[in-house]
Every structure is written in C-alpha cells, then in structure tokens.
Structure 1
Amino acid sequence: MRSEMDYSKKKLDEEKVFKDPVHRYIHVRDQMIWDLIGTKEFQRLRRVRQLGTTFLTFHGGEHSRFSHSLGVYEIVRRIVDDVFDGRPEWNKEERLLSLCAALLHDVGHGPFSHSFEKVFDLDHEQFTREIILGDTEIHQVLSRGGSDFPEKVAEVIAKTYHNKLVISLISSQIDADRMDYLQRDAYFTGVSYGHFDMERILRVMRPREDQVVFKYSGMHAVEDYIMSRYQMYWQIYFHPVTRSAEVVLTKILHRAKELYRNGYSFKQDPVHFYSLFQGDITLEDYLKLDESIILYYFQIWQEEEDPILKDLANRFVNRNLFKYIEFDPAKEYKKYSELESLFRKAGINPDYYLVLDSSSDLPYDFYRPGEEEERLPIHLLMRNGELRELSRESDIVDAISGKRRTDHKLYYPADFLKDDRSKPSIKRKIREILDI
C-alpha cells in the first residue's frame, strides 16, 4: 500500500518539457505520466494520424494522435493545477486520475481511425479499455498506482466513472479533447477557423458537482469556441475531397476483405489483415497495426491481378480520387437506381465506384431526454450564483441549438466515364444524368 501511494505521488527529479506548436510547452512532473508516455502502446500513436485522410486535402495535416493526446493532457493539467486547485468542489485526490485519462483517451485508435472501424466493425473505445486493462505496458504502469487504478481510468474514458466532473474534463460539449484538436487541426491544416480564446475559457471555468460550468462574463469566448467548432467540421473534417479519400480507402479495404473471403490468392500474403478479415482480431494483432503498415499494403496492392483492388490502391497512393456531385438521396433515389444499372451495363462495378456519402453534425444541443445522442448542456454561472443553460443567454448559440446539418455527396470515377471505344453511348447517358 505504501509503495502504491508513493508511486502515485512521485515526482520527477526535474520537470520534463515537450515543445509544442499549439500550447508552446507541455509540462510533465508526475512519474506515472512520464512512464505512460514511454510505453510502446502510447508511442504507437506517433504512427497514427490525427486527421486520417485529410493530409490528401490539406498537405500540412500530418500530425499524430500522439501530439494530440499530449495536448489534451496539458489542457487538463492546467485546469486541475491552475484553475481548480484549492476550490472546495474539486477533489485533489482525482488529479492524477484525470491526467491519466486525458493522456490515454485516444490510445485505442487504429490506423485511419473511423474509416477503418466502419469496414471491420471495430470500436476504438473498446480497444482503449482493453489496452488499459489488458496485458500491456500501460496497464503495468497504471497498476503501480493501485490495483483498482486502471479500472478507474477506463471508467473515466468510458464515461461510467461516478464523478461526472472528472468525465466532463475530457468528454463534454466543451472539453479538453475538443479544445486541443480544434486548435491543433487548424494549425496544421493552415486555416483560421479553429482558433478561439482558450485562455479566456480556462479563466472562467469553475468546478461544480457533476460538471464544469463557465462564468457568465466569459460567454462570448464560449460562443466563439462553438462557432469555431462548427466551421472546422464543415471546412475541414467534412471537406468533400477528404471524404473522397475516405471513400476510396474504405473501398480498398472492402475489396481486399471480399477477395480474401472468396479464396483469392494475393501476390503477397496480407498477414496483418488475417484476423481482421476473419472477424476475430486480438489486442496483440490490433496493436501491430498502424498507418505505415496499411500504406505498405496499398503500395503492394497496386500490382495485384484483381483490377478493382489494383485500381483503387493506385487511386489512393497517387491521389487520383473520385469526383463528386451534390446529391439528395430522399429526392433522387430513382436517379441513383438508374445510375447503378447504367454503371453495370458500362462494365463499372457500382459497389465500388458509385458511392453515396453523407456527413452530419450537431454543433450544440441542450438536454433532450430520451433522444438519440443525449448531450449535457453547457451551463453559465450567473452573477447571482444561478446556473443557466447557454442557449438561453446567447442568441448566437440559440440560433444553431438542436439544428443538425446534413450534407450528401455522390462519388464516382470521372476518368472511367470519358468517351472511348467501350460503351460510349452508355457512358454518355451517365454523364448526362450526373450533369458533367
């Protein structure tokens, strides 16, 4: 018991500092945090991009989940050490727990994250929990803080921990996770949308039972944050070229999986994919995957005999992506069916080359009991001590509250539809329907 307590409180002999383009410096004094950063599971995040395929749209967007995770840790460190320290609502005993959860919140992400998860029906949050609780270096480090400490960290990340205030630091409508990735993603993509006054937001944060609240005097900084988030989603995260790259990426993985299940003989065995194709991936297999592995196979698959896999791999590696048009599936479903039929007649497989993709975002919502994706609201602390939900005080936020925006695009390979000797009349008809 004594050694566990000593390790939890143990400080480094000298503070370690990471130079960071967003926060200037990231400070580490706790031995446990330093040891966690050095684990192989955390170091793996250097080889997983934060923004997936966005680097094919914004060439600077090459930053990793490693740097983002350090950034989230630093924001939480500043909150608990500078903002919350000494306030009666904050339990100092949960300081290290909060820092560990912030640092490890993304440790279960795989290569190309969400696109990868959809194809293979994976859940990065489940892998995060397995990494924290399984036979890993991270678990070994956390266990030195107490036999139940890894479970507590996993509960914070899974949003089941009993103290909701701790959870809200890394998972709420205005949390350290979002505050870091908005600024970091804006910096590396070279845009200005994601910038907001984080210093002001931190100054007006206050701990309350079950959540963080914000002084009324800082409402405009919170408004700015929400509008920054709104702009980043539509200008960066849902950029149509990035989505085209994601479409090609997912179709490569779908094709490889289909070929494997049909007994196709690859020129080079995709050994890293076997358990994925079979649907029984282990934690050990999962941790061997990073984006360098995936891109290696994409390079190899450019030489495959299967024309679809070969073409799609070429498209991704050499950035020959699909073109797109605006497309409303509710109004144009007959057009889509007609296009599917024409694609098949033209010898173009619509399962891989005619793709409807939809993006949707809800920038802010107040509490809506019983509805899908319930969200705890942002509360303002009024001068009289009353808590008021943000949209009741802010006209700007009220204008977008509860309003989900959805965008639909239809993706296709424009180069396949050019006039040539193969089915020219059918291709001409397809171009007419697509209006290209």
Structure 2
Amino acid sequence: MEMKTFEELDRLPMEKVFKDPVHDYVHVRHKLILDLIDTKEFQRLRRIKQLGTSQYTFHGAEHSRFSHSLGVYELTRRIVDMFERNYPNEWDSEMKLVTLCAALLHDVGHGPFSHTFEKIFDTDHEKITTDIILSEETEINAVLKRVSLDFPNQVASVITKEHANPQVVQLISSQIDADRMDYLQRDAFFTGATYGAFDLSRILRVIRPYKDGIAFQYQGLHAVEDYIVSRFQMYMQVYFHPASRGMEVTLDRLLYRAKQLCQEDRLYPRFPLLDPFFNDNPTLEDYLKVDDGVLQAAIITWTESKDAYLSELSRMFIDRKPLKSVTFEKGKDEPIVDKLRGLVDQLNYDKELYTLINSSSDLPYDYKLKSKVPIQLIQADGTFVELSQASPIVKTLSGNLQGDHRLYVPKELLDDNPKNINMFQETYDEFKRYIRNQAVIWPEDDVKETQNDH
C-alpha cells in the first residue's frame, strides 16, 4: 500500500476543536487524527495525571497526560503549518503526517504516577509507547496502518529518535521542543507557578527548519533565553519540590512492600490487576488496564491490610502524611546518612521501608551533551551561533547540574515533640544531634512547605 500524504487523507466535514485552557483551541482537521484520539489507548491518558504526586503539593495540578498530548499536537501543528507557509524549501511537507502523529502519541505509554511506577516495576514508558504503536493488538496500530503498513514503524522511529529526518525528531524531542514547551506552560498554569510562563507566541514565530534540524532566528534570542530560565525555575520550584518528592517516596515504599508481600503470597487484600506487575511478568494488555484510579483503589484497600507496614504506609499516602526530609551533601555525608538510617531502625521503624534517599537533578541546558543537539540561532547573514555563546544568562546555567539529595524519614523524627518516643528518647536525641551538629542541613524548606502547600 502506497503511503498517503497528509492532504490525501479524509478531511473532516467540519474542523473539530478541543477547548484548551492553555492554547485556547486544539484544531483537528483530519479524520486520522480524530480517530487516533478516539482510540481506547489514547483515551486511557485521561486517567493518568500529568504531574503524579505534585498534585499533593499544588492542588490545582490535576491535569492529565491526555490534555498534555493534545497540547503537544497543537503546538506541533502550528509549527508545521508555519513551516509550510514560510519555509517550503527547507521543510518537506510529506513529513507533516508522521510529525503530527508522533506528537500526539509521544506519551501514550505512560503509567500511573509515571516515574515511581516505572522504578518499582522496571517499566519504560518510551518503550511501551513504541510497543503500543507497533502492536497489532492495539487500536492505535490499526488506525496508523490505514496510511500504510509501514507507517506505524515510521511513527515509532520518531519516538526512538531514529527517524531519518532530524527536523521531525527535534520538533518532538530536543532541548526546546513541542513537548517541553507544552508541559512547561501547562504545568505553570495548573500549579499557579507564574515563573514557569515564557513568551511562547514569540518562540513559535522565530522557530525555523534548516538542513540539520530546528533553529531559531537570532532576534528571538530573549524569548529562547526566557524559556531556559523558566525551565530551570519550574524544575527547582515545582518538579523537585520536597513535599511532592515525599509523597513519591511514600508511594515507592508502599509499592515495594506490597510487591514483597505478593511474592511471599501474603498480600491481602489482593488486587488482581496489579498481580502481573508484582510477579514481574506484565503483558501490554495488563499494562493498559492500569491507571491512576486502579492504583489509588488498591492503596485504599491496603489501608485495611493485615500487614502493619503496608496499612500504615497506605494510610500515610491516602491521608497525605508523607515521609519528610533533610538534605545532605553527596560524597561527603554518606556516613552520617547511614548512621541516621541506623538510628531510625533502632526507633522501632524498618529502615528499608521508612527511609529512602531521593536525588533529583536536571540540566537546564547543555551544549556539550552528545544525546541532545545544542540550540542554534540563525543570524542575519545566515550563519549559526550556539545559544550559550549569545546569552550570558544561559551560559551561566549551561552544564551546571541543578538539584539536591535528600534523606526521607518518618515525620515524627523531625518534630520537636514527637509522640510515642519516650521509650526511645536517648536514640531520638542522638538522631536530632546528628541532624543539627553534622553537615546535614536542617529541613527549613519542609517547614515552609507546610505553610504554603495547603
């Protein structure tokens, strides 16, 4: 079957629009795109929260992977339409269809609570995305094959960054792509973090294709610079917020305990939809049955578990009473951290279940990364300059890993007057001395978060 061009596909009798709080409208003009949106695999994304445990810190952040995926599609559509109008010699219009389908489907493999779920059950959302696209058992695959039998492979190659056209890959995955542009704007909107906003309309105006990928006109320097700073701020203030990470760590430990119990045939109540994951043998069909609601329902049932650890950790998560943290300096404070974990164990907690190190870091931008193409600016004479060479602000942020390392422990151990600690008073006092007197930093921002995040 010869592959159809985008314009040869059936157009809808009337343009379909989705009202969007970030982009105003998402425009769908072709039946193929609407049919992909209507597949059961894509509709499942309505039941997957975009920001995972961040909703427990920023109460407005309850938007879904579904709305984000529509947003990425819409931004990509606007960019590609502009390329066709303004740069017909640099942009191959036959790439429009594969680009828009990859933009729409790029996150279809995400699971509940995303990265926590991936870590415990050793899944990879990008691989599952390609599996969904390529599996003959999915509705998405059937819709894509209406274009050509090889079209699912072409779309999957964009996700895996193996597509032959670098412009297509960089529009979906690069250091400034439609995916990042949407989630920064969307997450800033729903969390209320206004410093995550940047001049998106200006960026969409100055973006352009060239032989080796995507670049930006030099006069748009400050808009691109603003995007990098906004990304830095969002990671530091939202994505790495210690309270969100505390909920993530609590979820991590309760799933770890549930998996232990299941493998020992001691998990009660059982939750059959999760059994394949606990037994390390889930199929794609199993994966697609699981969403945030399934996991939440399981945790609610486990609050009644006969296992004291699982029931307590489940209640901590459901009632938003997460583990709390102190920061430490990696490479220097590990002996102190080991000592603190040992003291937690002596305080009648299981240190494997009630302590965990969480390290979060990000590179706001790096022109040296082999895995990422540097952001290029096109000057008036047609020559290129790399972004950090033109912007002192970006140069300062470039290549510097930003983030911290935290030891999470039961909240009671950081309280001034913890309950039920009398019989362990000496050990508790020693724990507090180590926090105050050693290089571990007292958790001042944990105090602030209790004031600000409700």
**Aligned residue runs from structure 1 range 95-110, under 5 A:** 95-110=96-111
Amino acid at match of 2:13: D
Q: Match for residue 253 of structure 1?
A: 255
Of residues 385, 403, 407 in structure 2, which corresponds to 1:406?
Answer: 403
| 1:344 Cα offset (Å) | 2.1
Q: Match for residue 213 of structure 2?
A: 211
In the alignment, structure 1 segments of 5+ residues that lack a partner are none
State which drifts further: 383-392 or 340-349.
Answer: 340-349
| 1:335 Cα offset (Å) | 1.4
Q: Match for residue 163 of structure 1?
A: 165
- The separation in 2 between residues aligned to 1:2 and 1:178, in whole angstroms, is 34
* 2:15 is the counterpart of 1:15: yes
Q: Does the 8 Å CA contact 2:6/2:96 hold for their aligned counterparts?
A: no
Q: Does the 8 Å CA contact 1:49/1:62 hold for their aligned counterparts?
A: yes
Of residues 134, 137, 140 in structure 2, which corresponds to 1:138?
Answer: 140
**Aligned residue runs from structure 1 range 24-423, under 5 A:** 24-85=24-85, 86-134=87-135, 135-266=137-268, 268-369=269-370, 374-415=371-412, 418=418, 420=420, 421-423=422-424
| 1:2 Cα offset (Å) | 7.2
- The separation in 2 between residues aligned to 1:5 and 1:170, in whole angstroms, is 20
Amino acid at match of 2:62: E
Q: Does the 8 Å CA contact 2:49/2:63 hold for their aligned counterparts?
A: yes
Q: Give 3-state SS (helix, strand or coil) of 1:360's partner.
A: strand
- The separation in 1 between residues aligned to 2:377 and 2:424, in whole angstroms, is 63
Q: Deviations over 1:140-173 (max 9, x none)?
A: 0000000010000000111000101101111011
Q: Deviations over 1:185-210 (max 9, x none)?
A: 00000110111111111111111113
Q: Give 3-state SS (helix, strand or coil) of 2:61's partner.
A: coil
Amino acid at match of 1:163: N
State which drifts further: 382-391 or 82-91.
Answer: 82-91
| 1:84 Cα offset (Å) | 3.8
Amino acid at match of 1:68: H
Q: Give 3-state SS (helix, strand or coil) of 1:423's partner.
A: helix
Distance 1:221 1:84, change over 3 A: farther
| 1:270 Cα offset (Å) | 1.7
Q: Give 3-state SS (helix, strand or coil) of 1:408's partner.
A: strand
State which drifts further: 401-410 or 88-97.
Answer: 401-410
The alignment yields a C-alpha RMSD, in angstroms, of: 1.6
Q: Give 3-state SS (helix, strand or coil) of 1:313's partner.
A: helix
- The separation in 1 between residues aligned to 2:33 and 2:348, in whole angstroms, is 56
TM-score, normalization by structure 1:
0.96
Distance 1:92 1:99, change over 3 A: same
- The separation in 1 between residues aligned to 2:326 and 2:396, in whole angstroms, is 29
Distance 1:5 1:93, change over 3 A: closer
Q: Deviations over 1:43-101 (max 9, x none)?
A: 00000000000010000000000000000000000011124435211111111111000
Q: Does the 8 Å CA contact 2:175/2:372 hold for their aligned counterparts?
A: yes
Between the two proteins, the alignment pairs up a number of residues equal to 431
| 1:217 Cα offset (Å) | 0.5
Distance 1:427 1:104, change over 3 A: same
State which drifts further: 360-369 or 159-168.
Answer: 360-369
- The separation in 2 between residues aligned to 1:303 and 1:326, in whole angstroms, is 33
Distance 1:426 1:379, change over 3 A: same
In the alignment, structure 2 segments of 5+ residues that lack a partner are 437-441, 443-454
Q: Does the 8 Å CA contact 1:16/1:27 hold for their aligned counterparts?
A: yes
Q: Does the 8 Å CA contact 2:49/2:62 hold for their aligned counterparts?
A: yes
Q: Deviations over 1:299-330 (max 9, x none)?
A: 00001111111111001100011221121232
Q: Give 3-state SS (helix, strand or coil) of 1:75's partner.
A: helix
Amino acid at match of 2:202: R
Amino acid at match of 1:386: T
Q: Does the 8 Å CA contact 1:379/1:387 hold for their aligned counterparts?
A: yes
Q: Does the 8 Å CA contact 1:72/1:177 hold for their aligned counterparts?
A: yes
Distance 1:303 1:333, change over 3 A: same
- The separation in 2 between residues aligned to 1:121 and 1:31, in whole angstroms, is 36
Q: Does the 8 Å CA contact 2:53/2:248 hold for their aligned counterparts?
A: yes
| 1:368 Cα offset (Å) | 4.4
| 1:8 Cα offset (Å) | 5.3
